[in-house]
Amino acid sequence: MIHSLFLINSSGDIFLEKHWKSVVSRSVCDYFFEAQERATEAENVPPVIPTPHHYLLSVYRHKIFFVAVIQTEVPPLFVIEFLHRVVDTFQDYFGVCSEPVIKDNVVVVYEVLEEMLDNGFPLATESNILKELIKPPTILRTVVNTITGSTNVGDQLPTGQLSVVPWRRTGVKYTNNEAYFDVIEEIDAIIDKSGSTVTAEIQGVIDACVKLTGMPDLTLSFMNPRLLDDVSFHPCVRFKRWESERILSFIPPDGNFRLLSYHVSAQNLVAIPVYVKHNISFRDSSSLGRFEITVGPKQTMGKTIEGVMVTSQMPKGVLNMSLTPSQGTHTFDPVTKMLSWDVGKINPQKLPSLKGTMSLQAGASKPDENPTINLQFKIQQLAISGLKVNRLDMYGEKYKPFKGIKYMTKAGKFQVRT
């Protein structure tokens, strides 16, 4: 099981270590540093590194490497999933997960890590339970603690820990009972030169924020549940009812959680809401290249596309770019060769465009590769797959909760080849 955890920042300093079994010398991280050096970028460090006596499994998030050390045959996905859970927990506790924040809260971090694993076995990873065991730091509590001498460690066994609904604590009370659900869909797509779709898929999630008193039992039904044939549920969802009736029936955890994630890959169901017209050309012999891109909406069901951001990694041979956008702002970093254009909203009457020239290295042959354009955007009040929630009912409690559903579509890994 998981032996030790090292937190390493991008400059290669180990700034936190935690051991759940015997202490493993931090020199084991040298193997990691070697791999880090070999990989040109932090993202490319392989997630599994063998060393003579240990295995190092790592995830890279928020510019921090979380390196777990294991000694025996352990399912690597289990370790990696756990590491991601650690990061999520930190984020949940402290709002952000960064080196200074972790250092600021080192004792809480240490206590939390101790609660999460015992002898390398996961003990409590549900944030509901963790928060009962170790209270997250707030300014108020810190002040109170200093004055009264009380602690931020709970001295009662968390009630949820052993019940049949381990994800929910008992005795929850709210004055305003409310349940919000966000249906968020991300489109991953590759569009080829000619504008036709190479692949497109939707990764959808339903994130919930449920603040309900007592032990509410919710059911959520969809207008078109047939869309959901590839789903992953939060453990609270009763799988049998989904199988037989296509209804989500569950006792929700308290607070924020991800109820469900789903995947729509059938090509005909994935609408592509934007198009990019591009004309990027390099000429042999000339040290100037032409650059022109236009972004426009299609298949948006009348909704506005906002937060459009275009980025593109230009070839090494490009020295500089002189461009004029019809709207928004753009930057080109001559060192990293990264072009980014913050477009904002797309007005269908006046399509945003970015035109100009690129100056190329004199004398060098024209670049072999064409830059790929990366697109970010957001569409409010639309789930691009067409998924629609039919109704939400609550059983088991008497009060009337306030219910809300929001839809949003975002670009995930949306790439246009040129």
Range 139-198, binding another protein (CB under 8 A) = 139, 142-143, 146, 149, 151-157, 161-162, 164, 166, 188, 190, 192, 198
Is 81 among the residues that bind another protein (CB under 8 A)? yes
Is residue 77 a contact point for another protein (CB under 8 A)? yes
Nearer to another protein, 67 or 346 (CB): 67
Whichever of 6 and 407 has its CB closer to another protein, that residue is 6
Residue among 314 and 382 whose Cβ is closer to another protein = 314
Contacts 24+ apart (CB under 8 A), 242-246: 246/221, 246/222
Q: In the window 23-42, what residues touch another protein (CB under 8 A)? A: 23, 26, 39
* By the rule CB under 8 A, 410 interacts with another protein: no
92 makes contact with another protein (CB under 8 A): no
Least gap, CB of 329 to another protein (angstroms): 23
Residues in 371-390 that interact with another protein by CB under 8 A: 372, 374
Q: Does 44 bind another protein (CB under 8 A)?
A: yes
Here the tokens at position 266 are: 């059938």
C-beta of 154 vs 325, nearer to another protein:
154
- Counting contacts by CB under 8 A, is residue 284 touching another protein? no
Residue 395 bridge partners (DSSP): 217
Considering only residues 49 through 68, tell me which ones interact with another protein, judged by CB under 8 A. Answer: 50, 53, 55, 57-60
Site string for another protein, 334-363 (x = CB under 8 A): ------------------------------
Asked if 95 is part of the footprint of another protein (rule: CB under 8 A), the reply reads no
Q: For the CB of residue 258, give the shortest distance to another protein in the complex, in Å.
A: 7
Closest alpha carbon to 280 in 198, 369, 190: 369
Stretch that binds another protein, among 11-19, 211-219, 289-297, 347-355 (CB under 8 A): 11-19
Residue among 62, 241, 263, 290 that touches another protein (CB under 8 A) = 263
Q: Judged by CB under 8 A, how many residues of this single chain contact another protein?
A: 102
Please, what is the minimum distance in Å from the beta carbon of residue 195 to another protein?
15
Fill in the amino acid letter for 348.
Answer: P
| DSSP-derived pairing of the beta strands 402-417 and 178-191 | parallel
For residue 400, the minimal CB distance to another protein (Å) is 30
The verdict on 203 binding another protein (CB under 8 A) reads: yes
* Stretch of 246-254, 262-270, 285-293, 338-346 lying at the interface with another protein (CB under 8 A): 262-270
